[in-house]
A = this chain, B = another copy of it.
Amino acid sequence: MSTQSVRRGGTAAPSVREPALVAIPSMKTAGTGPVELLSDAQRQLLVRSAAVRHFPARTIVYRADTPAESVFVIAEGVVKSYRDLANGRRRIAAFLFARDLFGLAEAGHYVNTAQTITPVRAYEIGVDALTELFRREPDIQLQFLCKIVHVLREAQQHSIIIGRRDAVGRLAMLLRVLQKQALPRGRSDIALPMSRSDMANYLGLSLEAVSRASRRLELQGIVEFVGRHEVRILDRQRFAAVAA
């Protein structure tokens, strides 16, 4: 994975394993976990309409309310999708990881602002090219539809998180969401690529409340913070209890 220049796919695709899309499919009944949606052939078709892009950390990919020309599929890295409210608060709608999709528009404009948290490698696909591809390849479109349904479920889960009253419970639920992304590190160690402030904006809490909730989880021996960007779960039992 050492291709760094921005080049058109098609002639020398970096890998047939990208771009990848992951979700829990609507229809299937075999297995309940997330699976890869696209076939090799579908990925190859997508690569032909896509460009590989590299973004440094903290780069704004696009701003809310600007004309939407592309959608993005993350190959590597972490992105936050947020919106600044009238009262000065910032609401993070979602954290996005590898094999996630972002950049869906409304009335031709982006609704959220997308900003990288880590360095990001992503596939950019023009909306016109994608729409055309959807018409030619209904199966690809169906996989995108499944992905978006899955994103919708995550958004509903997010509103359940925000609806909770206790900060500790909310934080635990966020950690559980991040845990699913942290498979490479093992089941007990969870990577926290984002800042405490980002976590607060996602959870609908103040920065201080996140800090205090972290401390409480640690004092109770449920988790252990290793630096600012990693957590280890010590007591799975009680962790599941507070996250329930």
A residues with CB within 8 A of B = 24-29, 31-32, 67-68, 83, 85-87, 91, 93, 104-108, 111-112, 127, 131, 134-136, 138-139, 141-142, 144-145, 148-153, 155-156, 158-160, 162-163, 204, 244
Partner of A106 from B26, B86, B127, B155 at Cβ < 8 Å: B26
9 tightest Cβ-Cβ pairs between the two chains A and B: A29-B108, A163-B204, A159-B159, A155-B155, A138-B138, A135-B138, A26-B105, A152-B152, A32-B107
How far, in angstroms, from A244 to B111 measured CA to CA in the complex? 17
How far, in angstroms, from A6 to B193 measured CA to CA in the complex? 53
Looking across the interface, which residue of chain B has its beta carbon closest to that of A33?
B107
* B134 contacts A141, C-beta separation under 8 Å: yes
Chain B residues with Cβ below 8 Å from A107 are 24-26, 28-29, 31-32
How far, in angstroms, from A138 to B142 measured CA to CA in the complex? 9
Looking across the interface, which residue of chain B has its beta carbon closest to that of A127?
B27
Partner of A134 from B32, B67, B138, B149 at Cβ < 8 Å: B138
Chain B residues with Cβ below 8 Å from A162 are 159, 162-163, 204
